[in-house]
């Protein structure tokens, strides 16, 4: 895991992996929009059907994708509890003081669960199918118009790229320092939260010192390789918006339209 | 034809309280295609000198000229840096991208080289250091020697005339050092001017010329034979000669008629003749 660049990239040779990162970022935006437009179980059925098809096409094991929901389990739990007890709508099933469980509340909570899960699953699918480098590239291209507002797009992109590049290096270093401090008798897993936080100081301080030293050397290395030599910087890798991306974009548009129609109750009976 | 010319070069590090001398009164000319080894113990000013050569530091006094361009002229600086490529000590602290080919492309991208040409240069540079197979990979799994070869490729992709290795072998294990040195020697054989900065004397045996630095000044220049046989110089500059060389010094001090040697093989030959 630590050997991989960083993140949760799951390499397969699927068409989803081959999409332009910009398309995938766009897909992320569409999914977020869809999750908030959807307000009925029918709409969520559409969302999950779409998601399921994408997972199948991406050739990533469904279980691998579902695992990502774990990270927001606590958030789901809290919002469900709040909504079950305080959302007051329809037939009352149980009541005590101001707290009521109602049919409407239960139904609404169900939707909240589906919405939160959809948000996490669809965005995870982006990070599962693209490397951090691809995403940085995509983001840089998206931000390019800001150049005209004198926003330093390229510098921001380099900062992101360097940050990604140094995450594994600094993790390795943290391990080394932790071991070195343990060898000197430091205890990291005893005492209350405050004591534990304090015990981390002997790791954090050397880590920061080393990070600054690295930054200093890196600055020389960037200069030596002519960073900022010209405004007309070129790129070896050019992102291409191909037929795959066009198809994907059309599918996304269709998907969002369906969800919006369902919200407007356009299909009469639903 | 000379590619680097240093004239009466001096530089010192200044803080509010004190001034530390980096290098002082350096005069040196480097010819095209030469393989120069800059020897000296820690803190003798070798790295300062290296950074002066491509304008990362600017001289207090004197001049550095690269292929006729002065580093002190602001408008030349990127031209000079693309002519004088520099590889640093820690391979981890000179890579900007998480993918090897992206890192190699960084230099030419900065220079605004055309896309198709960048692709060619990346291929060529990785081939030159024997790392083509790792092109799409990440540098994290690689050994120190491999990482440093990538760093060399990254510099080569700018098509420099001079390659400076600033203690680039210091953090490597013996095998990694061997890998890097053989790549450097191959590049030199193909015409690249190389300045190898090190404190390992045994890396200097194949040099055209050795420059020994001490306390910010050039103490001596000469062929490996000349430098290695000067025991007084070696001691004064706190250099560590290879074992074979030390043995010969001791033997000659004991009155044996031995000549200075550079490698173990030569030492064997000389010793056999003694019988």
| Cβ contact A2:A172 at 8 Å | yes
User: Which residue from A116, A146, A132, A114 is spatially nearest to A43, judged by alpha carbons?
Assistant: A114
Domains of chain B: 2-225 (3.40.50.300)
Residue A114 and residue A176 in one domain: no
Alpha carbons A31 and A33: distance in angstroms, whole number: 5
Does A28 share its domain with A88? Answer: yes
Asked whether residue A22 falls in the same domain as residue A100, the answer is yes
Residues belonging to chain B: 275
Q: Is residue B271 scored above 50 in pLDDT?
A: yes
The whole-angstrom separation of Cα B228 and Cα B249 is 9
- Identify whether residues A168 and A115 lie together within a single domain: no
Q: Are residues A158 and A81 both part of a single domain? A: no
Supply A80's token pair: 């469900």
The parent domain of residue A74 ranges over 15-130+240-264
d(CA A22, CA B265): 61
Q: Which of A158, A169, A227 sits opposite B92 (nearest CB)?
A: A169
Could you tell me if residue A24 is inside a domain? yes
Interface of B with A (CB under 8 A): 51, 54, 56, 78, 81-82, 85-86, 88-90, 92-99, 101-102, 105-115, 118-119, 122, 138, 140-141, 154-155, 158
In angstroms, the CA B119 to CA B50 distance is 29
- This complex has an ipTM of 0.88
* Rounded Cα distance, B12 and B60, in Å: 7
Please give the pLDDT value at position A268: 59
Distance CA B58, CA B62 (A): 10
A88: pLDDT strictly greater than 90: no
Tens of pLDDT, residue by residue over A138-186, are 888 888 888 888 888 888 888 888 888 888 889 889 999 999 999 998 8
Instruction: Please say whether the beta carbons of A223 and A2 come within 8 A.
Output: no
Q: Select the residue of A2, A164, A232 nearest B98 (Cβ to Cβ).
A: A164
Q: Are A133 and A50 within 8 A, CB to CB?
A: no
Greater confidence (B144 vs B264) lies with B144
Whether residues A168 and B140 touch (CB distance < 8 A) is answered with yes
A119 shares a domain with A48: yes
How many distinct structural domains can be found in chain A?
2
pLDDT at A2 over 80: no
Residues A206, A253: one domain?
no
pLDDT for B114 equals: 92
Please report the pLDDT score of residue A87 as a whole number.
Answer: 80
Is there a domain that residue A52 lies in? Answer: yes
A229 domain-assigned: no
Query: Would an 8 Å CB–CB cutoff place A240 in contact with chain B?
Result: no
Residue A8 has pLDDT above 80, yes or no: no
Residues A111 and A42 in one domain: yes
B162/B191 Cα distance (integer angstroms):
10
- Select from A131, A164, A218 the Cβ nearest to the Cβ of B93: A218
Q: What is the pLDDT of residues B173-230, one digit of tens each?
A: 999 999 999 999 999 999 999 999 998 888 888 899 999 999 899 999 999 888 988 8
Give the Cα separation of B47 and B4 in Å (integer).
Answer: 16
Provide the phi-psi class of A40: left if phi over 0, else alpha when psi is between -120 and 50, else beta: beta
How close, in Å, is residue A122 to chain B by CA atoms?
25
Residue A169 lies in a domain: yes
- Between residues A189 and A74, the one the model is more confident about: A74
Q: Is the pLDDT of residue B14 over 90?
A: no
Most A CBs within 10 A among B66, B111, B135, B140, hence the mutation to make, goes to B140
For residues A56 and A180, membership in a common domain is answered with no
Residue of B nearest to A217 (CA): B93
Does residue A141 sit within a domain?
A: no
CB-based contacts of B209, cutoff 8 Å, min separation 6: B34, B35, B36, B37, B221, B222, B223
Is A233 touching B (CB cutoff 8 A)? yes
Q: A1 in contact with B at a CB cutoff of 8 Å?
A: no
Residues A202, A70 within the same domain: no
Instruction: Evaluate whether residue A99 is within a structural domain.
Output: yes
Residue A142 belongs to some domain of the structure: no
Q: How many A×B Cβ pairs under 8 Å?
A: 109
User: Is residue A135 in a domain?
Assistant: no
Of the candidates B222, B175, B215, B168, the residue with the CA atom closest to the CA atom of residue B194: B168
Residue B58 burial (10 A CB sphere; 0-12, 13-18, 19+) = middle
- A165 and A191 share one domain: yes
B130: left (phi over 0), alpha (psi -120 to 50) or beta: left
Inspect the interface and report whether the beta carbons of B81 and A230 lie closer than 8 Å: no
* pLDDT at residue A68 greater than cutoff 70: yes
- β B35-39/B209-214 pair status: parallel
pLDDT tens profile A113-151? 999 999 999 999 998 898 888 888 888 888 888 888 888
Same domain (yes/no): A250, A125 = yes
């Amino acid at each position: 895991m630590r050997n991989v660049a960083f993140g949760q990239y799951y390499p397969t040779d699927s068409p989803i992996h081959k999409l332009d990162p910009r398309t995938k970022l766009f897909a992320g935006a569409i999914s977020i929009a869809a999750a908030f437009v959807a307000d009925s179980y029918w709409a969520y059925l559409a969302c999950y059907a779409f998601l399921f098809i994408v997972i199948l096409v991406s050739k990533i094991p469904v279980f691998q994708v579902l695992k990502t929901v774990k990270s927001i389990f606590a958030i789901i739990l809290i919002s469900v509890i709040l909504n079950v007890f305080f959302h007051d709508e329809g037939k009352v099933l149980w009541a005590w003081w101001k707290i009521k469980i109602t049919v409407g509340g239960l139904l609404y909570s169900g939707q909240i669960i589906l919405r939160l899960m959809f948000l996490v699953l669809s965005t995870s699918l982006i990070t599962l199918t693209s490397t951090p480098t691809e995403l940085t590239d995509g983001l840089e291209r998206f931000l390019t118009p800001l150049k005209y507002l004198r926003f330093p797009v390229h510098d921001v992109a380099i900062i992101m790229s360097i940050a990604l590049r140094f995450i594994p290096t600094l993790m390795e270093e943290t391990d080394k320092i932790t071991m070195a401090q343990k060898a000197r008798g430091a205890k990291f897993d005893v005492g209350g939260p405050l004591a534990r936080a304090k015990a981390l100081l002997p790791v954090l301080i050397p880590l920061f010192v080393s990070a600054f030293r690295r930054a200093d050397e890196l600055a020389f290395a960037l200069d030596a390789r002519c960073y900022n030599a010209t405004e007309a910087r070129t790129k070896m890798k050019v992102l291409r918006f191909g037929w795959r991306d066009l198809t994907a974009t059309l599918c996304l548009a269709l998907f969002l339209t369906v969800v919006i129609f369902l919200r407007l109750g356009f299909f009469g009976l639903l | 034809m000379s590619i680097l010319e240093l004239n009466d070069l001096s530089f010192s590090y200044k803080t509010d309280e004190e001034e530390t001398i980096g290098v002082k009164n350096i005069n040196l000319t480097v010819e095209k295609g030469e393989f120069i080894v800059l020897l000296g113990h820690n803190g003798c000013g070798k790295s300062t000198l290296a950074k002066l050569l491509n304008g990362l530091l600017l001289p207090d006094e004197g001049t550095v000229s690269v292929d006729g361009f002065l580093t002190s002229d602001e408008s030349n600086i990127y031209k000079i840096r693309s002519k004088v490529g520099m590889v640093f000590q820690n391979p981890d602290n000179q890579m900007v991208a998480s993918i090897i080919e992206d890192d190699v492309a960084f230099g030419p991208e900065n220079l605004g080289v055309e896309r198709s040409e960048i692709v060619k240069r990346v291929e060529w540079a990785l081939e030159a250091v024997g790392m083509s197979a790792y092109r799409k990979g990440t540098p994290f799994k690689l050994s120190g020697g491999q990482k440093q070869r990538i760093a060399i490729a990254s510099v080569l992709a700018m098509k420099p005339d001079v390659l400076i290795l600033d203690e680039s072998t210091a953090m490597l294990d013996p095998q990694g050092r061997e890998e890097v040195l053989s790549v450097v020697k191959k590049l030199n054989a193909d015409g690249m001017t190389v300045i190898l900065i090190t404190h390992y004397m045994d890396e200097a045996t194949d040099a055209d010329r050795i420059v020994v630095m001490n306390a910010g000044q050039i103490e001596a220049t000469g062929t490996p034979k000349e430098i290695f046989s000067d025991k007084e110089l070696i001691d004064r500059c706190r250099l560590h000669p290879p074992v074979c060389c030390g043995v010969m010094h001791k033997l000659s001090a004991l009155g044996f008629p031995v000549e200075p040697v550079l490698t173990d093989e030569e030492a064997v030959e000389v010793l056999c003749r003694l019988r």
